[in-house]
Every structure is written in structure tokens, then in C-alpha cells.
Amino acid sequence: MALNLDKNTNVRMGMDQKSVGLVETKTHTFAKPPNELLLECGRKLGPITIAYETYGKLNDKKSNTILILHALSGDAHAAGYHSYDEEKAGWWDIMIGPGKAFDTNKYFVICSNILGGCKGTTGPMSINPESQKPFGMSFPMITVSDMVNVQKELIDHLGIKKVLCLSGGSLGGMQALQWTISYPDWVEAVIPIATTSRLSAQSLAFNAVGRNAIISDPDWNNGEYFPGKTPAQGLAIARMIGHITYLSPESMHDKFGRRLQEKEQYSYDFVTDFQVESYLHYQGIQFVERFDANTYLYFTKAMDYFDLAGKFGSLERAFEKIKSKYLVISFTSDWLFPAYQSREIVRALIKNGVDVSLCEIKTPYGHDAFLLENEQLTRLISSFLSNLKLKEK
């Protein structure tokens, strides 16, 4: 939940005056035996704990809920600060807060750590009640559908009968699509950003290489590295590979080019010569400090398995029961989930008579553009939300 702070407090804390301020992560536990959750893979899991944060106030009709769905490396901490000395705000703080795209003066915003996560929600790091040890690779294989079913349990727990809007980028966008398929009567509108209805062979390949980097690390130990040394090198390499796909050639050229790192000539040795090398090493190290290697394996595999056309016979058939209004957003320089994949989603929605708008934002920043400040993205979302019918009482 968010703790209300006045503007002076925010200033003293060095916070943006439009920040939601101090927030705390809450948890909800369900699916306790013998009522475990049946997963798509056929196995059962329970109990399940889901970590979540909320920002803004739920109105009397509980009609102003916006559910934010995070991508592979995200968590429940989408906005605000956990403490006075926290230097970095939540991962989508630029979009969530008073007067921002997801305006917490109007909306009750929820973000949860998805199933399989490593930031409070049940995942490979969690204790297996049968062995009293971390699950590791004994954790069942999960899918995007399973992630959505767990989020639906949270929505039920909070007493919300219908979500005004869902939004997320990348893996978050996949969850948004799945929500409107699994629970068509529960979602008024949806904003999938920089996402796809299924990974291309190239994206599958990048995920496979990342997983192999982790599995090949001798410290991975078949996923049983608790307690002890984690497969830090493998996870760092996986992150470096992934991070390359999140940027565009143009943005990498503008940011790094062929500039050398703290030197004027080549070292003629196998050390870091170029700035781009140093940057990727830094990204890998930072990621290892906050993320779990096994969670990376499970999340990327869930993305691999997400294939709406394959599951339903065609993308058009997958969207047959959708009742939600759609705003689909893509970025021109995104080569991981190219804009044509968003257009495929829109064409299938149109064939089903869905109220859908498409916007391709011109930007040089690639797949990760949805995580960066973008006035056009903010205006699009704000305008879309303002046109939704909101029951105040």
C-alpha cells in the first residue's frame, strides 16, 4: 500500500513531488492444501504467496482499479520508495503517481510480483513444504496462464469485481493479452505495450542461449545452490545477452559507438576495451545482486510456451470471446518484439469486432522504450484512460 506524504516530505526525501511517496509490499497466501492451484502443466502448487503493492485509493464502487503487469526482470515495486534512504524509485515510477499516466489521484493501481518470481511471490527460491528446502528445479513449470490465474486470486481477495484497465510491457503485455482471454468479463480495457502473441524463432534462440549460460555455470548445481555460491557468472551473461536485445542498434551507436573505456588505445589483451563492454558487464553485475537464476529460467520458459495462435488454432480464434477495449502500443526500433507483431494482434482483434486502437511510437530506444520517459506514451495512456467509463459511487 502507499503511505500518503505531503509535498514537503517528498522534497526533504529528494523525491519527485508527483511520487506516491513511501510504499510497502503486502502479501496474500492462498491455495493451501488440499486446495492447491492446478497448473497448466498438470501439477498442483500450494500454498502460494503473492507479493503486491497498491497506490492510490479504491473508490466506493471498486471500479477504478488498474492492474500493472511487470516484465521479466520486474517485481511488485512499481512506484514510490520503500524507505527514506532508497535511491531508486519503483521500476515504473515515471508512469505511476499523482498526475502521471496512471494517475493515482483517480485510479487504484496494483502491481504484483508474478508467479515464479523472486521478490516475495512463490517461486523456485521459496521453501517447498514437503522437503523444507528451496524448491529449486523441483518447482513446477509455469505458464503465462498460471501467472494470470494467481493474479485473479489476488483481485478476488481484494473484493474487486472488474478491473478498469490492465497494462504491461513485454512479458507484462503477454499477461495482459492472456487476462482478456481467460477472464473476458473481468476487464474493461487493456494496454499491451511492446509485446507479442508468441515469440519468434530468434527470440526463442536468445532465451535458449541465456538459459544455457546459467545451466553451464558450475555453481548452478542443477538449481540447488541454496545456501552457497550462486551461478553469478552464468546469470550475468544471460542478462548481458538479454540486455542487447532490449536496445536498438541506433541507441547503442549513439550511446557507445566504438569509444574506448578509460583508455586512448587498444590494450591488445582480453580485457575490457570498449565502453559497451563495460556497460554490459555492469548490467550483469547489477542484475545478479537483485535476481534469482532459477527464476530467470522459469520466466523465459514461460515466455517460450506463450503461443496464442498455436493454442487456439489461430490468433483470430484466440480473441473470439474478448470484450475489452484495446490500446496496442509498439515502438518502431523494437527488434525483439517488432511492430509487425503488434499489428498481427490488432488485425485479429479487428476481425472479432473488438474496439482497438494501434499506435507505433517512433523512438530510437528499442524494446526498453516503455521503461523510459516518453511524452507521447504518457499522453496516449492518459487519453485512453480518460475515455473509459468510471463509476464513482
The one catalytic residue among 167, 170, 330, 342: 170
- pLDDT at residue 167 greater than cutoff 50: yes
Q: Kindly list the structural domains of the chain, giving each domain's residue range(s) and its CATH number in brackets, ordered by start.
A: 2-198+306-386 (3.40.50.1820), 199-305 (1.10.1740.110)
Q: How large is the average pLDDT for residues 150-156?
A: 98
What secondary structure, in 3-state letters, does the chain show? CEECCCHHHHHHCCCCCCCCCEECCEEEEECCCCCCEECCCCCEECCEEEEEEEECCCCCCCCCEEEEECCCCCCCCCCCECCCCCCCCCCCCCCEECCCCEECCCCEEEEECCCCCCCCCCCCCCEECCCCEECHHHCCCCCHHHHHHHHHHHHHHCCCCCEEEEEEECHHHHHHHHHHHHCCCCEEEEEEECCCCECCHHHHHHHHHHHHHHHCCHHHHHHCCCCCCCCHHHHHHHHHHHHHHHCCHHHHHHHCCCCECCCCCCCCCCCCCEHHHHHHHHHHHHHHCCCCHHHHHHHHHHHHHCEHHHHHCCHHHHCCCCCCEEEEEEECCCCCCCHHHHHHHHHHHHHCCCCEEEEEECCCCHHHHHHCCCHHHHHHHHHHHHCCCCCCC
Q: Is the dihedral of CA 132, 137, 143, 148 positive or negative?
A: positive
**pLDDT of 284 strictly over 50:** yes
What lies within 8 Å, CB to CB, of 308 at 6+ separation is 177, 181, 197, 198, 315, 318, 319
The dihedral built from the CA positions of residue 128, 141, 179 and 103, taken in this order, carries a sign that is: positive
pLDDT above 60 for 318: yes
Do 65 and 110 form a contact (C-beta atoms < 8 A)? yes
Active site residue 334: yes
pLDDT at 15: 55
Backbone angles phi, psi at 345, to 5 degrees: -60, -45
pLDDT band per the 50, 70, 90 thresholds, residue 8? very low
Instruction: Give the active site residue among 145, 146, 197, 367.
Output: 367
What's the CA gap between 245 and 200, in Å, rounded? 13
β partners of residue 166: 67, 190
Mean pLDDT of the chain: 94
* Distances 286 to 233, 235, 280, 352 between C-alpha atoms, Å: 12, 11, 10, 44
Is the confidence at residue 104, as pLDDT, over 60?
Answer: yes
End-to-end CA distance of the chain: 22
Q: Report which of residues 51 and 11 the model is more confident about.
A: 51
Handedness of CA 181, 187, 190, 192 (dihedral sign): negative
Which pLDDT does position 316 carry in this prediction?
98
Q: Of the ranges 6-10, 50-54, 165-169, 225-229, which one carries the lowest mean pLDDT score? A: 6-10
Q: Residue 11: its pLDDT value, please?
A: 41
Q: Is the pLDDT of residue 342 over 90?
A: yes
Give the Cα separation of 366 and 334 in Å (integer). Answer: 4
Question: How sure is the predictor about 389, in pLDDT bands with cuts at 50, 70 and 90?
Answer: confident
More confident residue, 336 or 18: 336
The pTM of this model reads 0.94
Q: Residue 191's pLDDT band (boundaries 50, 70, 90)? A: very high
In the chain, the percentage of residues whose pLDDT exceeds 70 is 95
* Whole-number Å distance between alpha carbons of 188 and 388: 8
Q: Is the separation of the CB atoms in 68 and 119 below 8 Å?
A: no
Residue 344: band (very low, low, confident or very high) from pLDDT cuts 50, 70, 90:
very high
Would you say 37 and 45 are in contact if contact means Cβ atoms under 8 Å apart? yes
Place 59 in a pLDDT band, splitting at 50, 70 and 90: very high
What is the phi/psi pair of residue 25, to 5°?
Answer: -90, 130
Cα maximum dimension of the chain: 70
CA–CA dist 196, 171 (Å, integer): 9
pLDDT, tens digit, 9 for 90 and up, residues 110-130 = 999 999 999 999 999 999 999
Local confidence band at 7 (pLDDT 50, 70, 90 cut-offs): very low
- Using alpha carbons only, give the angle 73, 368, 275 rounded to the nearest 5 degrees: 95
Say yes or no to pLDDT of 17 above 80: no
Is the pLDDT confidence value at 158 over 50? yes
Cis check for the bond before 124: say yes or no (omega within 30 of 0).
Answer: no
Confidence band (pLDDT; 50, 70, 90) for 330?
Answer: very high
pLDDT at 226: 84
**227 pLDDT band (50/70/90 cuts)?**
confident
Of 93, 334, 342, 368, the catalytic one is 334
